[in-house]
Protein backbone atom coordinates (compact mmCIF):
# COMPACT_ATOMS: atom_id res chain seq x y z
CA UNK A 1 0.00 0.00 0.00
CA UNK A 2 2.81 2.38 0.91
CA UNK A 3 4.45 1.67 -2.46
CA UNK A 4 1.28 2.80 -4.30
CA UNK A 5 1.25 6.13 -2.39
CA UNK A 6 4.86 6.75 -3.36
CA UNK A 7 4.09 5.96 -7.00
CA UNK A 8 1.02 8.21 -6.94
CA UNK A 9 2.99 11.06 -5.35
CA UNK A 10 5.76 10.72 -7.94
CA UNK A 11 3.18 10.66 -10.76
CA UNK A 12 1.45 13.81 -9.45
CA UNK A 13 4.79 15.62 -9.09
CA UNK A 14 5.80 14.61 -12.62
CA UNK A 15 2.51 15.90 -14.06
CA UNK A 16 2.85 19.20 -12.17
CA UNK A 17 6.44 19.63 -13.40
CA UNK A 18 5.53 18.85 -17.01
CA UNK A 19 2.50 21.17 -17.03
CA UNK A 20 4.33 23.96 -15.18
CA UNK A 21 7.49 23.68 -17.28
CA UNK A 22 5.47 23.52 -20.50
CA UNK A 23 3.48 26.59 -19.49
CA UNK A 24 6.64 28.52 -18.65
CA UNK A 25 8.24 27.52 -21.97
CA UNK A 26 5.11 28.50 -23.95
CA UNK A 27 4.85 31.96 -22.35
CA UNK A 28 8.52 32.71 -23.04
CA UNK A 29 8.41 31.26 -26.57
CA UNK A 30 5.31 33.15 -27.71
CA UNK A 31 6.62 36.43 -26.26
CA UNK A 32 9.91 36.16 -28.13
CA UNK A 33 8.67 35.02 -31.55
CA UNK A 34 7.77 37.82 -33.90
CA UNK A 35 4.35 37.79 -35.49
CA UNK A 36 2.24 40.34 -37.28
CA UNK A 37 0.63 42.61 -34.72
CA UNK A 38 -2.13 45.17 -34.69
CA UNK A 39 0.13 48.21 -34.66
CA UNK A 40 -1.22 51.31 -36.39
CA UNK A 41 1.25 52.40 -39.10
CA UNK A 42 -0.36 55.81 -39.54
CA UNK A 43 2.19 58.62 -39.05
CA UNK A 44 5.16 56.26 -38.92
CA UNK A 45 8.48 57.75 -40.04
CA UNK A 46 10.79 56.20 -42.61
CA UNK A 47 14.57 56.12 -42.82
CA UNK A 48 16.07 55.43 -46.25
CA UNK A 49 19.67 54.41 -46.86
CA UNK A 50 20.19 54.97 -50.57
CA UNK A 51 23.83 53.88 -50.56
CA UNK A 52 23.01 50.35 -49.34
CA UNK A 53 19.45 50.20 -50.63
CA UNK A 54 17.15 49.68 -47.66
CA UNK A 55 14.32 51.40 -45.83
CA UNK A 56 13.09 51.00 -42.30
CA UNK A 57 9.85 52.38 -40.87
CA UNK A 58 9.44 53.29 -37.22
CA UNK A 59 6.77 54.86 -34.97
CA UNK A 60 6.83 58.59 -34.20
CA UNK A 61 7.53 57.78 -30.53
CA UNK A 62 10.91 56.34 -31.60
CA UNK A 63 13.82 58.57 -32.54
CA UNK A 64 16.66 58.28 -35.00
CA UNK A 65 19.72 58.51 -32.76
CA UNK A 66 22.57 58.04 -35.15
CA UNK A 67 23.22 57.10 -38.68
CA UNK A 68 26.16 56.70 -40.97
CA UNK A 69 26.45 54.84 -44.21
CA UNK A 70 26.85 51.40 -42.58
CA UNK A 71 24.86 51.76 -39.35
CA UNK A 72 21.64 53.34 -38.11
CA UNK A 73 20.17 53.29 -34.60
CA UNK A 74 16.54 53.97 -33.76
CA UNK A 75 15.37 53.84 -30.14
CA UNK A 76 12.44 54.32 -27.81
CA UNK A 77 12.13 54.78 -24.07
CA UNK A 78 9.01 53.83 -22.22
CA UNK A 79 7.71 55.02 -18.90
CA UNK A 80 6.34 51.64 -17.88
CA UNK A 81 8.89 49.65 -15.79
CA UNK A 82 11.79 51.68 -17.25
CA UNK A 83 11.34 49.75 -20.48
CA UNK A 84 13.23 50.67 -23.62
CA UNK A 85 14.10 49.26 -27.01
CA UNK A 86 16.53 49.96 -29.80
CA UNK A 87 16.88 48.80 -33.37
CA UNK A 88 20.31 48.80 -34.96
CA UNK A 89 20.77 48.14 -38.67
CA UNK A 90 24.33 47.31 -39.69
CA UNK A 91 25.71 46.53 -43.11
CA UNK A 92 28.33 43.79 -43.21
CA UNK A 93 30.17 42.25 -46.13
CA UNK A 94 30.32 38.62 -47.21
CA UNK A 95 31.49 36.77 -50.28
CA UNK A 96 28.51 36.24 -52.62
CA UNK A 97 29.15 32.49 -52.91
CA UNK A 98 29.15 31.96 -49.11
CA UNK A 99 25.94 30.56 -47.63
CA UNK A 100 24.32 32.98 -45.18
CA UNK A 101 24.15 30.49 -42.27
CA UNK A 102 27.83 29.61 -42.75
CA UNK A 103 28.69 33.33 -42.84
CA UNK A 104 26.74 33.94 -39.61
CA UNK A 105 28.45 31.03 -37.87
CA UNK A 106 31.95 32.12 -38.90
CA UNK A 107 31.39 35.85 -38.15
CA UNK A 108 29.07 35.79 -35.15
CA UNK A 109 29.64 32.43 -33.50
CA UNK A 110 27.77 29.17 -32.95
CA UNK A 111 24.20 29.25 -34.18
CA UNK A 112 21.60 29.13 -31.42
CA UNK A 113 18.91 26.48 -31.92
CA UNK A 114 16.08 29.01 -31.67
CA UNK A 115 16.01 30.41 -35.19
CA UNK A 116 13.54 30.80 -38.01
CA UNK A 117 13.63 31.63 -41.70
CA UNK A 118 12.18 35.09 -42.43
CA UNK A 119 11.15 37.00 -45.50
CA UNK A 120 10.94 40.77 -45.78
CA UNK A 121 10.20 42.96 -48.77
CA UNK A 122 13.05 42.37 -51.20
CA UNK A 123 14.99 39.84 -49.16
CA UNK A 124 15.15 36.94 -46.77
CA UNK A 125 17.36 35.46 -44.11
CA UNK A 126 17.41 34.10 -40.59
CA UNK A 127 16.02 35.39 -37.30
CA UNK A 128 17.60 34.45 -33.99
CA UNK A 129 15.77 34.99 -30.73
CA UNK A 130 17.19 35.45 -27.25
CA UNK A 131 15.01 35.75 -24.17
CA UNK A 132 16.57 36.50 -20.79
CA UNK A 133 14.12 37.34 -18.04
CA UNK A 134 12.61 40.77 -18.74
CA UNK A 135 14.75 41.32 -21.87
CA UNK A 136 14.23 40.07 -25.42
CA UNK A 137 16.61 40.27 -28.38
CA UNK A 138 15.71 39.54 -31.98
CA UNK A 139 18.39 39.51 -34.68
CA UNK A 140 17.65 39.28 -38.40
CA UNK A 141 20.48 38.53 -40.81
CA UNK A 142 19.13 39.34 -44.27
CA UNK A 143 20.35 39.33 -47.86
CA UNK A 144 18.66 40.76 -50.93
CA UNK A 145 16.77 38.41 -53.21
CA UNK A 146 17.68 37.69 -56.82
CA UNK A 147 21.12 39.25 -56.53
CA UNK A 148 24.62 38.00 -56.04
CA UNK A 149 24.91 40.58 -53.28
CA UNK A 150 27.89 40.71 -50.96
CA UNK A 151 25.99 42.56 -48.23
CA UNK A 152 24.41 41.19 -45.08
CA UNK A 153 21.82 43.41 -43.42
CA UNK A 154 22.00 42.78 -39.68
CA UNK A 155 18.88 44.11 -37.94
CA UNK A 156 18.96 43.80 -34.14
CA UNK A 157 16.20 44.74 -31.72
CA UNK A 158 17.08 44.75 -28.05
CA UNK A 159 14.12 45.32 -25.75
CA UNK A 160 14.81 45.93 -22.04
CA UNK A 161 12.23 45.36 -19.26
CA UNK A 162 9.47 44.66 -21.77
CA UNK A 163 7.94 41.36 -20.67
CA UNK A 164 4.87 43.28 -19.45
CA UNK A 165 5.03 46.13 -21.99
CA UNK A 166 3.17 44.85 -25.02
CA UNK A 167 3.24 48.21 -26.85
CA UNK A 168 7.04 48.34 -27.12
CA UNK A 169 7.24 44.61 -27.92
CA UNK A 170 4.65 44.96 -30.68
CA UNK A 171 6.32 48.04 -32.17
CA UNK A 172 9.68 46.28 -32.15
CA UNK A 173 8.17 43.21 -33.81
CA UNK A 174 6.49 45.31 -36.49
CA UNK A 175 9.66 47.29 -37.27
CA UNK A 176 11.59 44.02 -37.68
CA UNK A 177 8.98 42.78 -40.14
CA UNK A 178 8.88 46.05 -42.14
CA UNK A 179 12.53 46.25 -43.19
CA UNK A 180 12.49 46.84 -46.95
CA UNK A 181 15.36 45.65 -49.14
CA UNK A 182 13.47 46.13 -52.43
CA UNK A 183 14.88 48.28 -55.19
CA UNK A 184 13.41 51.74 -54.96
CA UNK A 185 13.82 55.17 -56.54
Domains and CATH numbers, the chain: 33-177 (3.40.1000)
Helices (H), 33-165: 100-107
Q: What is the mean pLDDT of residues 125-151?
A: 82
User: What are the distances in angstroms from CA 152 to CA 95, 96, 131, 158?
Assistant: 10, 10, 24, 19
C-alpha torsion sign, points 159, 164, 170, 173: positive
How many beta carbons lie within 10 A of that of residue 82, not counting itself? Answer: 11
- What is the Rg, in whole angstroms, of the alpha carbon atoms belonging to the chain? 20
Report d(CA 115, CA 126) in Å as an integer.
Answer: 7
Q: Note the pLDDT of residue 147.
A: 62
Least confident of 36-40, 84-88, 112-116, 142-146: 36-40
Overall size of the chain counted in residues: 185
25-73 pLDDT, tens digit each: 444 444 444 444 556 778 999 999 888 889 999 999 899 987 788 899 9
Residue 159 has pLDDT above 90, yes or no: no
The answer to whether 78 and 168 have CB atoms below 8 angstroms apart is yes
pLDDT band at 115 (very low <50, low <70, confident <90, very high): confident
Higher pLDDT, 76 or 6: 76
Amino acid sequence: MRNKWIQLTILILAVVLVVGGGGYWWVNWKDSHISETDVDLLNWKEFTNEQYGYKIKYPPSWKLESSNSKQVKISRSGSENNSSASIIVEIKEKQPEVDLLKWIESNVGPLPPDREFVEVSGGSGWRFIGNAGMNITWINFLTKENEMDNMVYSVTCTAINVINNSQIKNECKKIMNLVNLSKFD
